[in-house]
């Protein structure tokens, strides 16, 4: 063995010269060269690198030194030892950073939240999601993007998302809806290898108190339908189908008169119009037939006007809430027929659990009997249609 040169051992091995750097970052570092001069040059370069790294370490400011100390303390605590006793091998701080980068930094091109938001919305449009669904996604995701627009998605933490929700002041159902959209958004990012874990999964779910669905009383239903007769006759079919067939507002606005079979006494809700994209047939009651008879057409969409709808509701003096006509239908249908499976089938529910828990015992059978006898007051305009069979 030759004497130590430039802090390394240089020795001849057969026809080559070998530089032995000792243990560096937990591994033995050695390299062989054909000539002695090549070995000396490489050893000198290694020494310069070490000197430069040491100088760079002294250039760290106080904040970085404290961060380094805290990181070593966390590492030591995780290994159950002291900082001074940390092994100089794979358990080093540098090795921990390598593991962090390997699992945290995406292996493909990075995206900011704003960039991915645009891509995500376009993907949902391309997947043929409903217009109202796209509107909801766009509203919520772009609202979040206003705070995270330039932040790379893989750097957004659960704490940051939770802080945004808390700062926004969203509570209950609204908070839950935002959480749901965040989970779906980051799942989209995860599938595209932009991050390894979904930070939205660990957002605290807001507590939501169970609320009974809002419905109209029989008197309110009568006032609503007669107000439509008097103040907005063209809106009568829309209100009647919503109230006496239980279709969703978005479904009613897409119903074509050609899908209303007066002979079979059924309304066909096609998959393109149904919320769950599945075909269903809704039975027509005697009073629904009576309300539609004077307005019957061969084809064309059932008339809807937001302005006329609001006018009717004002004239009827009814307390309005989301899906109130559909909820009313479900309550009176269940009370009348006492058959949860039948009512669920009419509503397009996949099971009876939701119906049984939310609508049972909201109204009496006597109320239901009155409800299904609500008919037009303008008898002269009604075309009587015989019942099927």
For residues 279 and 2, the model is more confident at 279
Q: What is the pLDDT of residues 186-222, one digit of tens each?
A: 999 999 888 888 999 888 888 766 666 788 999 999 9
Q: Output the DSSP codes for 155-224.
A: G--HHHHHHHHHHHT--HHHHHHHHHHHHHHHHHHHHTTS-SS-TTTTSPPPP----PPP---HHHHHHH
Kindly state the average pLDDT of the residues 304-327: 92
Name the least confident of 67-76, 118-127, 318-327: 67-76
- Judge whether residue 382 has pLDDT over 60: no
Beta bridge partners of residue 268, listed in sequence order: 281
What domains lie within the chain, and their CATH numbers? 4-104 (no CATH), 113-191 (1.10.150), 218-381 (1.10.443.10)
31-72 tens-digit pLDDT: 888 888 888 888 888 777 766 666 666 666 777 777 777 777
* Tens digit of each residue's pLDDT (9 = 90 or more) over 320-330: 988 899 999 99
Q: If you count them, how many residues does the chain have?
A: 389
Residue with tokens 């062989």: 32
Q: Is the entire prediction scored with pTM above 0.85?
A: no
């Amino acid at each position: 063995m030759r004497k130590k040169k430039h802090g390394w051992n240089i020795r001849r091995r057969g026809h080559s010269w070998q530089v032995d750097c000792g243990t560096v970052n937990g591994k033995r570092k050695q390299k062989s060269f054909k000539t002695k001069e090549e070995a000396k040059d490489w050893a000198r370069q290694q020494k310069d690198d070490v000197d430069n790294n040491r100088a760079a370490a002294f250039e760290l400011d106080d904040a970085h030194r404290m961060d380094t100390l805290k990181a070593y303390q966390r590492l030591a605590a995780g290994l159950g030892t002291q900082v001074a006793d940390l092994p100089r091998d794979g358990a080093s701080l540098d090795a921990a950073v390598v593991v962090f980068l390997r699992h945290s930094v995406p292996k493909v091109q990075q995206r900011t939240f704003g960039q991915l938001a645009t891509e995500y919305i376009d993907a949902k449009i391309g997947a043929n999601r409903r217009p109202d669904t796209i509107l909801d996604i766009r509203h919520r995701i772009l609202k979040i993007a206003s705070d995270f627009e330039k932040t790379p998605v893989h750097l957004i933490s659960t704490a940051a998302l939770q802080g945004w929700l808390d700062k926004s002041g969203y509570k209950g159902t609204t908070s839950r809806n935002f959480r749901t959209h965040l989970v779906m958004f980051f799942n989209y990012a995860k599938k595209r290898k932009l991050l390894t874990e979904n930070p939205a999964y660990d957002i605290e779910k807001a507590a939501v108190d169970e609320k009974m669905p809002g419905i109209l009383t029989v008197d309110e239903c009568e006032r609503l339908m007669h107000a439509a007769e008097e103040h907005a006759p063209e809106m009568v079919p829309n209100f009647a189908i919503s109230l006496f067939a239980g279709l969703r507002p978005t479904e009613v606005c897409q119903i074509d008169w050609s899908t209303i079979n007066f002979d079979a006494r059924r309304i066909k809700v096609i998959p393109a119009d149904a919320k769950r994209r599945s075909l269903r047939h809704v039975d027509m009651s005697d009073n629904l037939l009576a309300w539609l008879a004077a307005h019957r057409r061969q084809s064309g969409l059932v008339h809807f006007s937001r302005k006329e709808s609001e006018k009717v509701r004002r004239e009827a003096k009814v307390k309005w809430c989301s899906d109130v006509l559909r909820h009313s239908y479900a309550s009176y249908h269940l009370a009348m027929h006492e058959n949860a499976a039948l009512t669920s089938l009419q509503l397009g529910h996949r099971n009876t659990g939701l119906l049984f828990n939310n609508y049972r015992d909201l109204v009496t059978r006597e109320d239901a009997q009155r409800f299904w006898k609500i008919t037009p007051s303008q008898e002269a305009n009604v075309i009587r249609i015989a019942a099927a069979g």
